A and B are shown apart, each in its own frame.
Chain A
């Protein structure tokens, strides 16, 4: 991934020590436009990094910039052009989502009429319909997360920080939220920094992933590099597994047998060849195909690799 002219954010030797704990330890990292994932276990320093990037917490040492603005001196400018969705609950229960998002738009400097229009638009985009006129106290977790996202987007920022947006959601809600984040990054054209302690879900939406642990950088690279190494396809047939394996091996593919599954290594130079070979082999041998799926190397593997 090539670094763009002004990175979305960049840190240089960023360190933050609290009286009892070091949250960030000489973190030097940068991210370009698009969707960037920030992964780390709880307490890895993700939220602290976001607060420093918002210019709300001064670092102990080192520096950071957001959209080319210095977090130490240009915090107000930064907060004018970014949005923030906190990890914790932040919605007063007795007012409606519409009123709340209009108010938050005004707090970002939008005039009242523009705030109303933007709030209606944004709530529609995050998928909140008639219920947006009801007090938020009666909302489900999924709806609450959508309102939190809407208030971060309502002033049309150039970059949003989303702190654990899938927290507390059921699998369906999680998928919806991830799809929404992907849309924000692509269709809306707003760069996203999204944190999660679940590695698997970020690889579905991110262009770039930063992994931190204990306040230190573990890895920062484009998502392609995370997943390219171990491209395999899993094949399951009703009978004739051995025949298929022999046929594929004869054709020059690397095949491994894992129980009822065959895993075929995808050729890194010519991925199409592997897929064609599997298709032709199954068809020629007249086998009943039960399963055919892509297997990718998982971001989890980062933690298994020794730290470079």
Chain B
């Protein structure tokens, strides 16, 4: 008995593509989305998912505690505007772990020439990577405070809602995401080795945090109270906190006060501009 084939595979040869070809913008968007997914380990191996998801979970823990305290003790303990400063070590570890993933493999495995042989420019590539990391950091920092705010709305508290503080914190989160993404990509893109990139970013954070704290302590103890607040701005998290409190009127996280708001804003802009320029120059060089 012979079995009649129910399906036959035909070799129809090479077919040309005559569908739509999207522009540069859409290609950049696709790269950005792919990078953003990759930051959280989506579309990557299980091993690559552990770190970002674990850190994202840790970021939610103060939210859980805060909602618990609000529900049981009717007390507001965790101001939205100070969440990031409080959790700065976790955010810094996330940045150090994920920024090198975005840029190092393309340099190390020399994938960059393939991108540049397509209708993408160096600037498109850099914009996509910076945008992906910015959005990732924004989600990491904004989701916990948003959940906390929803919790505050749902729990009947004796005091009015901290809406102003929440919105100010969201504004500050945007600025912080942009600054950290620019710094992270700038530091990570200088080495094609991912491990080294992680070390450089975390070392940069620890160095700025330590130097900032040390200078502040020395200056304050020697009675130079007028200069001491400037030392705080060396830490990127306090720099953004200073800008946030001057632009959106939130409480300073240090309780010590910062130098005049305009100065903080200018420093923030200068640091972002410097980092982005550094990345662009780095990639112009890598491309040629």
Contact = CB atoms under 8 A, between A and B. Distances in A.
Interface string A75-112: 01101101110101111111100010001101111111
Given A79-B119, A125-B14, A156-B16, A90 B21 contact: no
B30 interface: yes
A118 B14 contact: no
A84 B116 CA distance: 10
B116 A104 contact: no
B45 A94 contact: yes
Interface string B106-124: 1001110111111111000
A151 B22 CA distance: 17
A83 B119 CA distance: 11
Interface in B1-45: 13-17, 19-24, 26-27, 30-31, 34, 43-45
Contacts of A303: none
Contact of A107 (B14, B17, B30, B109): B30
Nearest to A90: B110
A103 B119 contact: no
Given A80-B21, A99-B43, A109-B26, A90 B109 contact: yes
A188 interface: yes
B287 interface: yes
Given A106-B27, A114-B19, A121-B15, A92 B117 contact: no
A56 B121 CA distance: 10
B118 A110 contact: no
A93 B13 contact: no
Interface in A183-219: 187-189
Interface in A109-123: 109-112, 114, 118, 121
Nearest to A95: B44
A56 B110 CA distance: 16
A54 interface: yes
A155 interface: yes
B278 interface: no
Contact of B118 (A77, A99, A108): A108
B105 interface: yes
B63 to A, nearest CB: 33
B124 to A, nearest CB: 10
Interface in B98-138: 105-106, 109-111, 113-121
B288 interface: yes
Contacts of B288: 56-57
Interface in A47-85: 54, 56-57, 76-77, 79-80, 82-84
B117 A114 contact: no
Contacts of A189: 14, 16
Given A90-B110, A107-B30, A188 B14 contact: yes
B112 to A, nearest CB: 8
Interface string A139-166: 0000000000001000110000000000
B21 A107 contact: no
A114 B287 contact: no
Interface size class of B (residues with CB under 8 A): 35 or more
A84 B30 CA distance: 20
B17 A76 contact: no
Nearest to A114: B19
Contacts of B34: 103, 106
Contacts of A79: 117-119
B20 A114 contact: yes
A39 B228 CA distance: 67
Contacts of B16: 156, 189
Contacts of A89: 109-110
A231 B178 CA distance: 69
A71 B197 CA distance: 36
Contact of A84 (B13, B24, B45, B117): B117
A57 B284 CA distance: 11
A33 B17 CA distance: 19
A66 B30 CA distance: 27
A89 B112 CA distance: 11
Contacts of A77: 119
A118 B17 contact: yes
Contact of A93 (B14, B21, B109, B119): B109
A95 to B, nearest CB: 8
B114 A151 contact: yes
25 contacts: A54-B117, A56-B116, A76-B24, A76-B119, A79-B118, A80-B118, A80-B119, A86-B110, A86-B113, A90-B109, A91-B109, A91-B111, A92-B109, A94-B44, A99-B43, A107-B27, A107-B30, A107-B120, A108-B21, A109-B24, A109-B27, A110-B19, A111-B19, A187-B13, A189-B14
Q: What 10 pairs across the A-B complex have the smallest Cβ distances? A: A156-B17, A84-B117, A109-B22, A106-B30, A188-B14, A109-B21, A92-B109, A80-B119, A107-B118, A90-B110
Given A80-B119, A94-B44, A118-B17, 14 more contacts: A80-B118, A84-B113, A88-B110, A88-B113, A94-B45, A95-B44, A103-B34, A104-B114, A104-B118, A107-B30, A107-B31, A109-B24, A109-B27, A110-B19
